[in-house]
Amino acid sequence: MTDKEPKEAMAVMTPPYASDALADGTVDAAVIGGGAAGLNGALILARSRRSVVVIDSGAPRNAPAEAVHGLLALDGTPPSEILRRGREQVRQYGGRVVHGEVVSAEPAAPSADGDLRFTVTLADGRSITARRILVATGLTDVLPEVPGLAEHWGHSVLHCPYCHGWEVRDEAIGILATGPVSIDHAFLFRQLTEDLTYFTHGTDLDADSRARFAARGIRVIDTPVTEVVNDTDGALAGVRLADGQVVARRVLAVLAQLQIRAQGLEGLGLPVEDLPKGRSFASGVSGATEVPGVWVAGNVTDLVAQVGASAAAGALAGADINRMLAIADTDAALRARLDDSTSSAS
């Protein structure tokens, strides 16, 4: 990587999947984002006989990974296969999955009976009207500006000890610090290997943490890292320090800055909160937000959720959306009945 190349660990663009037609009229729910959270939310809604459309750009965060781990019964399954099965299952119950990029989502005029409405517009100009919205757009990992780091992302440059730790056990691992959160990161990876080096890379490491590292046999290097070094086969071989020394490592663990995918969602006015590992959309029980009619699920609100947790959050949000729609349907039916009674009496 040169200084002119992008510094973000961008998700690898997967080939566009077969896209359904965008639904006409008003749908019960539009799901923005077709990862584990979005698809599971859509599945719950579709099985509840709700009209639901998933809008997904086809660029999942975990695309560089060879497999999803820590997911019961699906451990070791490629991310693309999980998404393929998920889209099939949503469609099995009448849901639609549409390939597209959302450029705006905003409240629209309410229906005649006072129910909420939202308009979601895609980059190609198409739009859809929905009664409720589930945002499950996920996030992007923004890596430190170290040449050569991004090219190994998802393979020998990792972030999650639970997602990839078993696969790199007993390797020579380096922790490239990005802040105080990297201290706990080091102890988690120390569980996986006895050969662990912590590169402070310009971040502070207090005396107590240094003592604890020494007790666990974790080597500390304060000289800044200037680049990632590859072997003759292109595999990660180590890091070069500012003094020219090369420290051999086969794996680097990096807690990247986590940046939620919020482009096009500004019109919803979703509240955000700043956390030690990044900024997320704020949410309450079952992913409900302060914005009536809008839910969030997955990494866009839980920055560290793995695939299983994201899918579970999507299911909870989908169930809550269905519950609130049922209440709205009942309220509308009751008003209509009362209006009919009043008209008949007069």
The Cα–Cα gap between 75 and 237 comes to 28
Residues near 87 by Cβ (< 8 Å), separated by ≥ 6? Answer: 17, 34, 39, 54, 97
126-130: average pLDDT: 97
Res. 129: pLDDT tops 80: yes
Res. 7: pLDDT tops 80: no
Per DSSP, the residues of 178-236 read -STHHHHHHHHHHTT-S-EEEE-TT----HHHHHHHHHTT-EEE-SPEEEEEE-TTS-E
200-209: average pLDDT: 97
Residue 239 corresponds to which tokens in the numbers above?
A: 């890091």
Res. 12: pLDDT tops 70: no
Residue 109 corresponds to which tokens in the numbers above?
A: 């005029």
Tell me the domains of the chain and their CATH numbers.
Answer: 9-140+258-341 (3.50.50.60), 144-255 (3.50.50.60)
6 pLDDT band, cuts 50/70/90, is: very low
Contact 250, 189 (CB under 8 A): no
Please tell me the pTM assigned to this model.
Answer: 0.92
Percent of the chain with pLDDT over 90: 88
Q: Could you tell me the strand order of the sheet in which 278-281 lies?
A: 8-9, 139-142, 257-260, 278-281, 272-275
